[in-house]
C-alpha cells in the first residue's frame, strides 16, 4: 500500500516542478530572445514482480512448454514506483522576428545553420550575442534589445555590456547618436551611412557560436554561460555557418502562450488526480488503524 503513496507523492512533486517551469515560461513571453524550458519527467527504475509457485499448483509455461515445479519462480509483471522531474531542457528554436525600426534592436537569424551529429544525435548549433556580466565574466544571450548607456557603451535591456568582434565592449563616441548607426547582416557597425563624407566603420558585433547549445547553463532570464569560452565567428580562421543579423528587429521568445496555458491546465489535473489517490490511501490507512485499535 505504501508503494502507492510514494508513487502518488512523487507524481505531485514532479508536476509541481513542471508547473513552476511552465509559469516561468509564460512570465517571459514578452522577453526578447527568451528560450523556453521543457521539464523532462522520468520513471524510477522498474521493479520486476515475481512469485514462487506453491506445492498445490500445476500448469505449463507458455514459452518453454515445460511443467511448473513447486518453488519455481514465475514473472507476474513490472512495477513502476512513480516519476521524478529529472531536469529542465531549454528549447533553442528560433523565435519570431518582429520589426520595430529601432536602430539598436538587433535580431539573430541562424536558421540556415546546418545540424550536426553529436554523440549520435542530430543537434542544431545556435548563435548568441556575447555580453560582459557584472562580475567580468562572459555571458551569452539572444536578447537584441539594446541601447546606449551614459558612457556610450552598447548595453542590453538588463544592462550588460555588449561585446564586439574584438572581445571588448562596444563603445560609441558621444558625437554619434544611435539614429546615425547602421548594423549590417555581418554585424559591422557603420556611422553616418547616408553621408559618404562622414561614413566610417566603428566596430563589429561579436557573435558566438555554440555547436551544442544544450551544454550551456542558464544564469537567469535569457542569459547563459559556458564552461569554456565560445568561439566568435569573426575569429581568425572561423567561417560563418549561416548567421545573419537583422537591424530594426527583435526576436521574440519561442514560448507559445496558448500551448503553455493548455499544458498548465493538464498539469493541474494530473496533480489533482494524484491528490485524490493520496486521499483514498489515507482513508484506507485510517480504517486499518481503527480495526487494529479495536482488535487490540
Residue-wise pLDDT tens digits, 210-222? 999 999 999 877 8
Query: Could you identify the residue written with the cell 544544450?
Result: 214
**What percent of the chain has a predicted confidence (pLDDT) above 70?**
85
Domain ranges of the chain: 1-43+83-90+253-296, 45-79, 97-251
Count CB neighbours of 23 within 10 A.
13
**What was the pLDDT predicted at 60?**
46
Residues 92, 216: Cα–Cα separation, whole Å: 11
Neighbouring-strand partners of residue 244: 109
Specify the 3-state DSSP secondary structure of 104.
coil
What are the C-alpha distances in Å from 101 to residues 107, 175, 222? 12, 22, 23
For 291, residues 6+ apart whose C-beta sits below 8 A from its C-beta are: none
User: Would you say 160 and 132 are in contact if contact means Cβ atoms under 8 Å apart?
Assistant: yes
User: Would you say 131 and 163 are in contact if contact means Cβ atoms under 8 Å apart?
Assistant: yes
What are the C-alpha distances in Å from 245 to residues 24, 150, 170, 189, 269? 28, 25, 16, 11, 43
Among 14-23, 112-121, 154-163, the range scoring the smallest mean pLDDT is: 112-121
Q: Tell me: the pLDDT tens digits for 30-45?
A: 999 999 999 988 777 6
Q: Tell me: the pLDDT tens digits for 84-132?
A: 787 888 999 999 999 999 999 999 999 989 898 888 888 999 999 999 9
Indicate whether 296 pLDDT > 60.
no
181-183 vs 223-225, strand pairing mode: unpaired
Q: At what angle do helices 2-27 and 257-295 cross, to 10 degrees?
A: 160
Could you tell me which of 50, 43, 69 has the C-alpha nearest to residue 58?
69
Amino acid at each position: 500500500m505504501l508503494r502507492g503513496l510514494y508513487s502518488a507523492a512523487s507524481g505531485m512533486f514532479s508536476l509541481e516542478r513542471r508547473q513552476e517551469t511552465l509559469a516561468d515560461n509564460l512570465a517571459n513571453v514578452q522577453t526578447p530572445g527568451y528560450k523556453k524550458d521543457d521539464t523532462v519527467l522520468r520513471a524510477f527504475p522498474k521493479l520486476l514482480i515475481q512469485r514462487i509457485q506453491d506445492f498445490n499448483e500445476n500448469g505449463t509455461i507458455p514459452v518453454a512448454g515445460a511443467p511448473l515445479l513447486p518453488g519455481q519462480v514465475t514473472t507476474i509483471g513490472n512495477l513502476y514506483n512513480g516519476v521524478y522531474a529529472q531536469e529542465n531542457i531549454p528549447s533553442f528554436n528560433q523565435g519570431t522576428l518582429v520589426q520595430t525600426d529601432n536602430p539598436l534592436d538587433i535580431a539573430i537569424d541562424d536558421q540556415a545553420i546546418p545540424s550536426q551529429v553529436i554523440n549520435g544525435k542530430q543537434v542544431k548549433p545556435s548563435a548568441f550575442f556575447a555580453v560582459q556580466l557584472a562580475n567580468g565574466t562572459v555571458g551569452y544571450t539572444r536578447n537584441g534589445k539594446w541601447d546606449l548607456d551614459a558612457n556610450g557603451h552598447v548595453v542590453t535591456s538588463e544592462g550588460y555590456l555588449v561585446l564586439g568582434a574584438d572581445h571588448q565592449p562596444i563603445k560609441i563616441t558621444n558625437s554619434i547618436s544611435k539614429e546615425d548607426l547602421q548594423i549590417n547582416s555581418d554585424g559591422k557597425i557603420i556611422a553616418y551611412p547616408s553621408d559618404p563624407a562622414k561614413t566610417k566603420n566603428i566596430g563589429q558585433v561579436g557573435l558566438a557560436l555554440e555547436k551544442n547549445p544544450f551544454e550551456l547553463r542558464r544564469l537567469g532570464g535569457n542569459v547563459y554561460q559556458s564552461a569554456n569560452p565560445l568561439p566568435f565567428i569573426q575569429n581568425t580562421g572561423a567561417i560563418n555557418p549561416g548567421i545573419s543579423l537583422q537591424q530594426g528587429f527583435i526576436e521574440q521568445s519561442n514560448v507559445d502562450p496558448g500551448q503553455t496555458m493548455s499544458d498548465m491546465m493538464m498539469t493541474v489535473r494530473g496533480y489533482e488526480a494524484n491528490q485524490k489517490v493520496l486521499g483514498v490511501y489515507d482513508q484506507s490507512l485510517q480504517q486499518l488503524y481503527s480495526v487494529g485499535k479495536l482488535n487490540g
